[in-house]
Structure 1
Amino acid sequence: MTAQDNHAPATQADGVVDWLTNGTRDERFIDNIFADMCIRLQQAGIPLKRSTLHVLIHHPQWLGARFMWSDGMREAEIARVDYDVRERSEFIGSPANEMQDGASEVRENLERDPSLGRKHALYDEMREKGLTDYVAWPLYHTLGKRHLITFATDRPGGFEDSHIAALKKLLPVLALVSEIRIKNRLARTLLETYVGSHAGQLILAGATRRGSGTTVRAAIMICDLRDFTKISDNWPRDDVIDLLNDYFDAMSEPIARHGGEILKFIGDGLLAIFPLQEPDACANLLHAVTEARQAMTALNERNNATSRAPLNYGIGVHVGDVMYGNIGSTSRLDFTVIGPAVNMASRLEALTKQLGRTVLLSRDFAELVEEKFELEHVGKHEVRGFSDPIELFAYHG
């Protein structure tokens, strides 16, 4: 805020500006702040009927989010915005489109003849709801980031100049308040995306010291795709990426649904754990395996319809104590699990091809689930890196 802004004439929004500056420290979510701000603007005498806040968040699945508040609402409605939105009619010619092209303000008198104004379905929709005036401004964040906020009224004659001045006075403070919350949410989203929700929470809580960690007893699942080197050598790059994404979707979604945490993707493989502190963790792991296998069957049927070869895979499962924490160099850490139990799960996954089974379980794991699931005993086998033969079971669920 400039010195000139500090000496600007008082407006109806001054109390709201003060609240944004000093009264929102304990509020974590921008949608709650936004809805409360709109209500306070009404209470300050600004005839606000509708407002929206559009932010870019760059989530793996969504470009951004839209928060919408209307008169009478206590909370804002939240809608996700897909990455392809800029190709749709709802965006082309919209205020957001104008802002992307560099506009510093969009103002539309909704009372005048529609043929004389901007042409877009949004304006027709607002007229049908009895709105009379609409204004949109960019919300500037650091490093040139631009978001969007809009205000609309149903007051005859639209917003007065004093209303516009009051709303404009909010923008610099709202930009600061919203940037902090959006970046906090973005940091959390990025950590959840790349290291998982539980590890992300630990890292945000300060678990970033190299070598720090805890011992966790967990069921461990390692999955690997068969013949991936041959596929990647012979398929077009984009097809390989699509294949991997479909494969990881089939495997990952059931794991997350049943309480597991994927710690890492390793090329065409994945490592997931189900901490035993959760009830029925081992049973949940096998439920996830069952659903993942069903999803892989459906994926292979779709691939067969497009003349793609079926995807084969192996899953190794063990249970034991693992070290869960930070490992790496002084400047680059990985939050993961290590220990003999992880090595055992990896070796069992490698044995699935040799023994002709898709899912192999260790005796230690099988003892925890054999009363609830039908397992096939496949005998004792040498496991690389372990001195004694290991008793193994196959699961066909």
Structure 2
Amino acid sequence: MNAPSNAESVPIQSDGDVADWLINHTRDERFIDTIFAQMCIRLQRAGIPVKRATLHILIQHPQWLGARMLWADGMNEAEIARFDHEVRQSSAYIGSPGKEIHDGVTELRENLEQDPALGRQHAVYDEMRAQGLTDYVAWPLYHTLGKRHIVTFATDRPGGFDDAQIASLKSLLPALALVSEIRVKNRLARTLLETYVGTHAGELILAGATSRGSGTTVRAAIMICDLREFTRISDNWPRDDVIDLLNDYFDAMSEPIARHGGEILKFIGDGLLAIFPLSQPSACANLLHAVSEARQAMIALNENSRGTGRAPMNYGIGVHVGDVMYGNIGSRTRLDFTVIGPAVNMASRLETLTKQLGRTVLLSRAFADHVAGEFDLEHVGEHPVRGFSEPIELFAYHG
């Protein structure tokens, strides 16, 4: 959770002060959930009896449709819950206030003191009645280009919010929309960069590493993985089946890499390039642990494929260690944040050799020296490697 700021230290005289605070005094606060919790506390001090409030944000994320920030009386921080893309088919969403707002309603008010049979029927209203709440209001929160998010407020005041309190809450919406959009766009930029270039590269880009040729030298373990016979598969399988296969394969490979501290820099058709920087002392061991877990995931995936009549998938992995140039490469207007250098070329050549030598995972001697005694490796001798003048001593890993 993000630490609350100094909301307690600033006396609030009116709801107008809350709007001023939102506009002029939150610029150094990075997280919208923190701002939202502070705003609710300040509203209470301004005499508006908010007991519960939520902020619902739609986000562009490969896994999540959106997030809900929930604040309730006595909380210094908002609770964050994320929702996947299937939530719109759930009973929690169908018939909910959120669906009504997303369908175009511009204000939703529910008297929670009246007989439930006379009001809208949904579980969230029953939950709020059970908490002793008496009134609930929800509004769309408009961001640019017509994007609609949602903010809600509820009270336990007998008789609910009065007209002046509703007017005060509604008057805050433009300021809250402005402040929330800035934070959501910042988070979106970070999410998109993490999704498409990886966490570490994304951080560097956000920090300003965007000029062509900018970069740094990183010593890392490099892993290149490639799917076997993908051309045959893509030529003979239906398009949607090919996409599903690739996604399943990349899940099996990628999740262990991320879990063990590696970073996938790119997907290249049916292959991937990942690095484990040696700034982490156990980077090379972590890479092999990731390979072991990926192997188990692929075994399970192939078992499932047999059950559906599909042929099992085979793959090859080449692993090396060395210095790589990590940074921006490309044309004046289109850059790629990646790694290049002889060490990357070596890993690529070893991946190609897995087919010739009949091994799934091939390691260079330079990499094997980093994990000597920790893993059971098969010595497969010295072999010529295209582009390198001397034969390279290789090891296979079967873990």
Three-state SS of the structure 1 residue aligned to 2:165 is: helix
Kindly state the Cα deviation for residue 113 of structure 1 after the two structures are TM-superposed.
Answer: 1.7
| Structure 2 unmatched ranges of 5 or more | 1-12
Aligned residue number for residue 110 of structure 2: 108
Aligned residue number for residue 219 of structure 2: 217
Three-state SS of the structure 1 residue aligned to 2:370 is: coil
Distance 2:171 2:102 in 1: 22
Distance 2:337 2:287 in 1: 21
Kindly state the Cα deviation for residue 304 of structure 1 after the two structures are TM-superposed.
Answer: 1.4
Q: Is the counterpart of residue 395 in structure 1 residue 397 in structure 2?
A: yes
Kindly state the Cα deviation for residue 391 of structure 1 after the two structures are TM-superposed.
Answer: 0.9
- Give the letter for the 2:74 counterpart: G
Three-state SS of the structure 1 residue aligned to 2:371 is: coil
TM-score normalized by the length of structure 2:
0.95
Aligned residue number for residue 30 of structure 1: 32
Equivalent residues of 1:48, 1:151 under 8 A apart: yes
Equivalent residues of 1:12, 1:163 under 8 A apart: no
The correspondence of residues 211-250 of structure 1 with structure 2, limited to 5 A, is 211-250=213-252
Equivalent residues of 1:12, 1:166 under 8 A apart: no
The correspondence of residues 246-285 of structure 1 with structure 2, limited to 5 A, is 246-285=248-287
Distance 2:128 2:286 in 1: 49
Match of residue 338, structure 2, among 329, 336, 339: 336
Aligned residue number for residue 362 of structure 2: 360
After superposition, what is the alpha-carbon deviation per residue over 1:153-200, rounded to whole angstroms, capped at 9, x for unaligned?
111100001110110111000000000000000000000010000000
Distance 2:337 2:150 in 1: 36
Q: How many residues align?
A: 387
- Give the letter for the 2:175 counterpart: V
Match of residue 146, structure 1, among 145, 148, 156: 148
The correspondence of residues 292-307 of structure 1 with structure 2, limited to 5 A, is 292-307=294-309
Aligned residue number for residue 8 of structure 1: none
- Give the letter for the 2:303 counterpart: E
Q: Which runs of 4+ in 1 moved over 4 A?
A: none
Equivalent residues of 1:221, 1:316 under 8 A apart: yes
The correspondence of residues 76-225 of structure 1 with structure 2, limited to 5 A, is 76-225=78-227
Aligned residue number for residue 4 of structure 2: none
Distance 2:306 2:42 in 1: 59
- Give the letter for the 1:130 counterpart: G
Distance 1:345 1:287 in 2: 18
After superposition, what is the alpha-carbon deviation per residue over 1:120-167, rounded to whole angstroms, capped at 9, x for unaligned?
111122112111110000001011111000000111100001110110
Distance 1:14 1:331 in 2: 46
Distance 1:122 1:150 in 2: 12
Distance 1:68 1:37 in 2: 12
Distance 2:128 2:159 in 1: 15
Distance 1:211 1:355 in 2: 37
- Give the letter for the 1:254 counterpart: P
- Give the letter for the 2:146 counterpart: G
Aligned residue number for residue 42 of structure 1: 44
Distance 1:287 1:104 in 2: 53
Distance 1:60 1:255 in 2: 18
Distance 1:257 1:115 in 2: 50
Equivalent residues of 1:12, 1:46 under 8 A apart: no
RMSD: 1.0
Distance 1:204 1:184 in 2: 10
Greater alpha carbon shift after TM alignment, 83-92 vs 258-267: 83-92
Q: Is the counterpart of residue 324 in structure 1 residue 322 in structure 2?
A: no
Greater alpha carbon shift after TM alignment, 28-37 vs 298-307: 298-307
- Give the letter for the 1:50 counterpart: R
- Give the letter for the 2:127 counterpart: E
Distance 2:356 2:188 in 1: 44
- Give the letter for the 2:60 counterpart: H
Q: State, as a whole percentage, how many aligned pairs show the same letter.
A: 80
Distance 2:103 2:147 in 1: 13
Kindly state the Cα deviation for residue 12 of structure 1 after the two structures are TM-superposed.
Answer: 3.7
Distance 2:87 2:255 in 1: 25
Match of residue 52, structure 1, among 43, 51, 54: 54
Aligned residue number for residue 8 of structure 2: none
Aligned residue number for residue 6 of structure 1: none
